[in-house]
Structure 1
């Protein structure tokens, strides 16, 4: 097994193990959701590696088209949106569409002919536009950003600088949510951010920080955020924290947050070392970074379809096509 895969397996195994550590001694903790998400990522990545090796263009193109058709036919299918007019798609569907943009871009830069490439880039643009119809400004921004990065990456010879910029974008998004929760931003900036999100979501983020302070090592336990959140209890619901990094820190402590960051950095690392063309790897990196930014302000990683889609896209962009290995075997 290549070295990057060994590191990735170790990171995912550590995430699963720490989830069980954070669960120990807490009867109401429920680790199943996190473990299922890890399984979805792993299965998606394995499937993407196999499909990407056998069908480097057709597999990501088919995945992107399938996402677009599924969301268009059943709007709100993942998020429980309404089918009655006006149609409501939901955040998970929009996140899946943004991953579809990345898959379409990967397929586009896997072909050499101009017309198929333009058609696939057109599919990517259509999926990005569908995120706007879905009503998710964040997903539309990430989809448009993926298209921009994909076009720029075709002219780059080195991947490292752009991957570093993408990592910085994810860090800034996560840091911004923490700053809002702390109230460490100017009033005007906070007002603009709250108008685009909601006051309640920022209150949930503040509750997550309070839970981190209670137990910074192990957190309050997997899936216990709602029962310990003042805001969620006041509303009588089972709300998520609305931010993957903050919920991870609240439920699994700072080590759990560190493992989540390590998993993202590992994804960027394997894309840096990917045997695929730079445009393919960087398109996938942009889409996954967009998902990380989206997850910083929404609970999209709570849906297994989204986590499996992220793993699938990473597998597509890191697979070594069988056709490229044939000459070496002869």
Structure 2
């Protein structure tokens, strides 16, 4: 069992939005697209009826290990990213929940390399058994590539100086290998920063998002959700920073209106596929108890009959 603790954000709000009002015990198939440490999954299982079924997804081997602690026969998990929602049958799912946050055990475990708060290998992969680590990518990427990633995914205005510092360090003393080395390098390249924010915050966010292709996978998963949801099925997505939330917001807005083909002005419009329902933020009490919840936004939409 993981000794590092995780507090699930918007636990009751997300599950209530997904399943409906408390007191109902729905059947059918439901999806927790980002199992994490299982907080939402366990709550969903408490609410499901005997004919309900919960399918979870996660890339992280530690999450898969945590999932083995759930012995409920209605539950299953796939060691895959949530883009693999596309493998589920069309119109087979009554609800999809996506929690886009990095779990606290991932952040707090220095061995995973997600955080500058403790020194560890510069990895940041959600699934450390697959793909290229941040250290491996930074060892060969060009200045322009590094700057583009940090600027685009971290919204970092000092992306250029940071990228130049990384490549200069690589040339002089070899590639960066640890989170502490990267954090110190970024601190030296960033001239000003918002009060209370570590200078490396945006760079670490950017490299994590890039190395895991998080935004691309989110878009693919959202597209897949339209196909797998039954009419009346719910989509509930919790995001934690503006890049994710913008994608979710625009996706729901795009599919919440009829689409006219300008090339065929007399043709019937494509009907709307979603109906936006709610935008929910954590309560003051939740943020006070769990500061990592402060930036969370839950957006809820319903699949239409189209």
Class of the TM-score when normalised by the shorter of the 2 chains: under 0.3
Bigger Cα Rg: 2
Higher helix share: 1
Q: Specify which structure has the bigger relative contact order, considering alpha-carbon pairs within 8 angstroms and separated by 6 or more residues.
A: 1
Q: Return the structure number with greater strand share.
A: 2
Task: Give the TM-score of the pair, scaled to structure 1.
Answer: 0.26
Normalising by the residue count of structure 2, what TM-score does the alignment of the two structures yield?
Answer: 0.27
